Amino acid sequence: MGGVKKIQPVSLFLLFLNLGTCLSCKPKYWSLTSHYDNHINNLENNFALDYPTYTVPNLLKDSWCSKIWIFHFSHKELSRIKEVSGENLKKDISLVLKELEFLNDCSFNISEDCLEQRSTNMSEFLDAMRSINIKELTDKRDYSNCTEILCDKVQDEPNGFADPGKQEGQQTDVCWPWIAFCIVLFFIIIVIIIIIIYIACQRQGNSVRRQDDLSIMEMSPFTPSNNSNEIDTT
């Protein structure tokens, strides 16, 4: 008789993690160092300042999120430039990208309003990166409420990036749809787990009861014998 397969709690937990993961931005460590400004300056000295670059000119101005958004698009653009650069310039770009490795712990969803890009030059591009206060950025550990990158529909900023200090105190609570989705998914998974456990217990209980019934019947003195249907002819 086959036994009931044991439910593996670890497998169920990993399934929940895979299915219920929200967008998040919680750097395990800040890769930004005291050499960040030096790497930016070195890159500026070795680049033609009128070199064309592409940015998102209409990022929503937000006191917290703009900083991390600027770094996200800067990392993306520098990675593109690195692919078409010479060996010496690749080394300079790699040093800056190494400073931004903390972005590997962040996942973003970009609003459709941010898809339009405007050409700028390397001087403005690097000035935007240099304008970020690194200490203010690293004082905050959790940027998960910034994973939805938002943009204004119309923005005529001369700089390709939004100024992170213009609208202090404004927070974008854009992760709520994801949080609600995760909560609903969590309860659905809990219900499924309870149902699975209930069915397994029911099957195991029925199996035990059948075994008990068979044992009682075998031990009962009132169990009819094989000759019960024979007619006594004496």
What does pTM read for this prediction? 0.57
Orientation of helix 9-19 relative to helix 176-219, angle to 10°: 160
pLDDT tens for each residue of 23-73: 788 888 889 888 999 999 998 888 887 888 888 888 888 767 888 999 999
CB 145 within 8 A of CB 119: no
Mean pLDDT score, 140-168:
64
**What is the predicted pLDDT for the residue at 224?**
54
For residue 167, give the nearest of 51, 17, 66 by alpha carbon.
66
83 pLDDT above the threshold of 60: yes
Helix%, strand%, coil% for the chain, nearest 5: 55, 5, 40
Neighbours of 187 (CB within 10 A): 10
**What is the predicted pLDDT for the residue at 1?**
43
Mean pLDDT score, 139-154:
84
Percent of the chain topping pLDDT 70? 67
